Amino acid sequence: ALLPPRGTAQWQAADAAHFLHPFTDFGALAAQGSRIITRAEQLYLWDSEGQRLFDAMSGLWCVNVGYGQQALIDAATRQLQQLPFYNAFFQTATPPAIELAELLAELTPPQFRHAFFTGSGSEGNDTVVRMVRRYWDLQGQPDRRILISRNNAYHGSTMAGASLGGMKSMHAQGGLPIPGIVHIDQPYLAAYRRQRPAAAGLDEEEFGLIAARWLEKKVLELGPHRVAAFIGEPVQGAGGVIVPPASYWPEIQRICDRYDILLVSDEVITGFGRTGHWFGCETQGFRPDLMTFAKGVTSGYIPLGGVMVGERVARTLIELGGEFEHGYTYSGHPVACAVAVANLQLIREQRLVERVHDDVGPYLAEQFATLAGHPLVGDVQTSGLMGALLLVREAAGQSPFRPDQPVGMVCRGHCFAQGLIMRAVGDRMIVAPPLIISRAQIDEMMALIRHCLDLTL
């Protein structure tokens, strides 16, 4: 190390003095102090006090192959030595970027043969906004400008990404959304029932059709000739792992086909095996024209994102488009692409997608179902290795919660203290462990979750 090692208090002081963290109340964190994470193996983290944490969130939904995979470390090291950077602007390319584009064309559904690379998921969604508008200009339909997305969606933090997202608190900071982005409601039955007691008897699949038809209603209200695209996460992730009814996405597909609207799947979380297929659109049964990816493409070892461009859009851009005036310094970064290739090969060789589909995904579903009997749990949902528990406030109300302290945050606090990283979204507690998790490790995670739910009661 170039600098002498420091103790926790020294790290915390320097952190509070200089580091503005993402999505953080700066003042509150400075007062409380960060937990300093210093190393990791498999699905465990260690902090600067030597405490072990079970990482049930794969970092930020990205470390799908777990920590410490030598094949990824070697790929990065080799590429750093051979060619740490060269760009793909101005008629040049590097072997790792070409290899990754080729491999993605193989692994993604058949309509995809081309990849556009970015540095992150947010940049991928900004690319989507520009690309779909460019597509419609080239098609001679320049009035098709509007992108429809959903409340409580998360599509990133750039101006376009946050605008596509449906987080009202994000829109309130910085004057969002940008023009031409319209939201409809999310397919979340528990929330719908809360607003409409008359919907108590509504069946999941009936509700899936109702929720999808909010799109049709919005398209007709705006005029189909003005709508460029619909974008959604196959399973809403950051919004709280909202798993839609099986009827939802096929009906969305029908509506997009009917009004000739481009369908965009944001696979930043659901891509590369998370839901038990290579892509979430395959689990949910729809055929997107564009797909955003990031996170799991490198298992988070290094930043990389991008957009898979379906042939319908790609052919238009290639044959009619001329220069597409968009791109990033790190579009196709050779080290990031080399790590991605190694990561995807590892997922394929170790059959991790099949493992989620046939083994650990169903086992997580079975184990989560046993929590439905816990007095604090109102509902459970899973999709592959994503899981959510809806916490019931009434039960929590028996203990001295402050009204400004959402029950999820209280539960999350217990988890953090007990060595379990689980995330709270309002009254939902969520997990997305690495795809390498074993049944025994699911048991270990479940014991910790049960203990923390009991502490929250």
Please give the residues from 251 up to 270 whose contact with ligand PLP meets the rule CB under 6 A: 266, 268-269
Answer yes or no whether residue 238 interacts with ligand PLP by CB under 6 A.
yes
Task: Considering the complex, state which of residue 125 and residue 253 has its C-beta at the smaller distance from ligand PLP.
Answer: 125
Torsion, CA 389, CA 392, CA 395, CA 396, rounded to 10: 80
**Residue placing its CB nearer to ligand PLP in the complex, 273 or 305:** 305
* Min CB(234)–ligand PLP separation in Å: 9
CB of 109 to ligand PLP, least distance (A): 18
* Between 66 and 240, CB nearer to ligand PLP: 240
Query: Least separation, in Å, of the C-beta of 118 and ligand PLP?
Result: 9
**Of 39-47, 114-122, 224-232, 251-259, which segment contacts ligand PLP by CB under 6 A?**
114-122
CB of 336 to ligand PLP, least distance (A): 12
At 75, list the tokens.
């790929």
CB-nearer residue toward ligand PLP: 12 or 122: 122
Q: Which residues ranging from 135 to 154 are in contact with ligand PLP (CB under 6 A)?
A: 154
Nearest Cα to Cα of residue 332 among 158, 99, 82, 63: 99
Q: How many residues bind ligand PLP (CB under 6 A)?
A: 15
Minimum CB distance to ligand PLP smaller for 156 or for 384? 156
Shortest Å distance, C-beta 17 to ligand PLP: 26
Chain position whose Cβ is nearest to ligand PLP: 121
Which of 122, 284, 298, 382 contacts ligand PLP by CB under 6 A?
Answer: 122
Which residue among 55, 126, 216, 233 contacts ligand PLP (CB under 6 A)?
Answer: 233
Does residue 121 interact with ligand PLP by CB under 6 A?
yes
Q: Count Cβ atoms below 10 Å from residue 316 Cβ, excluding itself.
A: 17
Distance of closest approach, residue 164 Cβ to ligand PLP, in angstroms: 9
Q: Which residues contact 170 (CB under 8 A, 6 or more apart)?
A: 157, 162, 176
Show the site string, 153-192: x = touches ligand PLP by CB under 6 A, - = not. -xxx------------------------------------
Shortest reach from residue 279's CB to ligand PLP, in Å: 13
Ranges within 406-445 binding ligand PLP (CB under 6 A): none
Which among 74-82, 230-238, 374-382, 428-436 is the span making contact with ligand PLP, rule CB under 6 A? 230-238
Tokens 């309002």, located at residue: 426
Residues numbered 70 to 99 that lie near ligand PLP (CB under 6 A) are none
51-59, 208-216, 232-240, 407-415 -> range binding ligand PLP (CB under 6 A):
232-240
Q: Is 278 in the site for ligand PLP (CB under 6 A)?
A: no
Q: Which of 237, 245, 300, 384 binds ligand PLP (CB under 6 A)?
A: 237
Minimal distance, residue 125 CB to ligand PLP, in Å: 6
Binding stretches for ligand PLP (CB under 6 A): 120-122, 125, 154-156, 233, 237-238, 266, 268-269, 294, 305
